Amino acid sequence: MNYTTKLSVNINKIATLRNSRGGDNPDVVKAAIDIQLFGADGITVHPRPDERHIRYEDVRQIKKVIKTEFNIEGNCTEQKFVDLVLETKPHQVTLVPDALNQVTSDHGWNTIEHKDYLQKMIAVFKNAGIRVSIFVDPDLDMVVGAAQTGTDRIELYTERYAKQYPENKAEAVKAYVSAALKAKELGLGLNAGHDLDLHNLKYFKQNILFLDEVSIGHALICDALHYGMENTVQMYKRQLL
C-alpha cells in the first residue's frame, strides 16, 4: 500500500527576508497562497514572542486564505501563543519546547518530566477541536511518555538524523525507525521535521513508510532560490512517493 505523506512548507524564512528590509516584500500571505497552488499539502508557521520572522498578524491573515492544512508551531508556555492558536484555530498545533529567544528548535519534550503540564495544555487545544502534535526526540521512553499526554501525534525531531546521514545513513535512521514503530504501536500519528532536505528526505520516508507529514522550511526555501518555488515544492513532493 502506498502511504501518502503530506508536505507542509514552513514559511518562516520568507518572513525573515521580508523583515530584513521592512515593508511587505516578499508578501508572506501571497507566498502561502502560491505554495498551496504549487502543490504543498500544508503551510507551517512558527511565530516567536519577538516576531522576528512570522508575525502574529501574519498568522491571522494566512488563516483567512488557507485552503490546505494549517499548522502552527510554538512554545505553549507563552500565553500569547496559546491565545493566538485558540483564536485562529489551525488544523494542527505543534508544541515545541523552545527557550525564549532561541534561534531554532533543537530538542524535543521530556514527556516524562513534563507529563502533567503537557496533559493540561494538550487538553486545552483538543477541547477547541485542534489536532495536537508534540516535538519528541527519537527516544522510546519519550515516545511512550508522549502517548500518556493525550497528544494526537508526535513530530520526530530529525536534526540528529540529518547530521549523521552523510556518514552512515543506515545508522542515522535506526533510532527513528524504532521510535516510529513504537508510536504506531501506541496509536500515535507521526510527523517529522528539522533539517530534512532533498538529499536525506527520500531515505527517511523509505524507512518509515507510514509517516503522516513532514514539515520543511529552511532547506526548501534555500533550494527555491536556485530551482524556483513551484519546481522545488514538486521536487520535495517526489521524495515522499
pLDDT of res. 84 = 98
Question: C-alpha distances in angstroms, 220 versus 87, 108, 196, 216?
Answer: 29, 22, 9, 6
**Among 53, 69, 155, 194, the one annotated catalytic:** 194
**Among 46, 53, 155, 213, the one annotated catalytic:** 46
**Among 69, 73, 155, 213, the one annotated catalytic:** 73
Q: Is 46 a catalytic residue?
A: yes
**Cβ–Cβ < 8 Å for 97, 136:** no
Give me the chain's average pLDDT, please: 95
pTM of the model: 0.95
User: In this model, does residue 99 exceed pLDDT 80?
Assistant: no
pLDDT, tens digit (0-9, with 9 covering 90-100), for 62-86:
999 999 999 999 999 999 999 999 9
Q: Is 194 a catalytic residue?
A: yes
How far apart are the C-alpha atoms of 41 and 228, rounded to whole Å?
A: 18
pLDDT of res. 101 = 56
pLDDT of res. 107 = 74
**Cβ–Cβ < 8 Å for 68, 36:** yes
pLDDT, tens digit (0-9, with 9 covering 90-100), for 188-200:
999 999 999 999 9
Sign of CA dihedral 64, 65, 69, 70: negative
pLDDT, tens digit (0-9, with 9 covering 90-100), for 106-146:
579 999 999 999 999 999 999 999 999 999 999 999 999 99
Domain boundaries, the chain: 6-239
pLDDT of res. 111 = 97
Q: Is 73 a catalytic residue?
A: yes
User: In this model, does residue 39 exceed pLDDT 70?
Assistant: yes
Return the CATH number of the domain spanning residue range 6-239.
3.20.20.70
Sign of CA dihedral 8, 107, 82, 180: positive
**Cβ–Cβ < 8 Å for 147, 165:** no
Closest residue by Cα to residue 158 from 216, 83, 102, 101:
216
Contacts of 207 (CB under 8 A, 6+ apart): 173, 176, 177
User: In this model, does residue 204 exceed pLDDT 60?
Assistant: yes
**Average pLDDT, integer, range 183-187:** 98
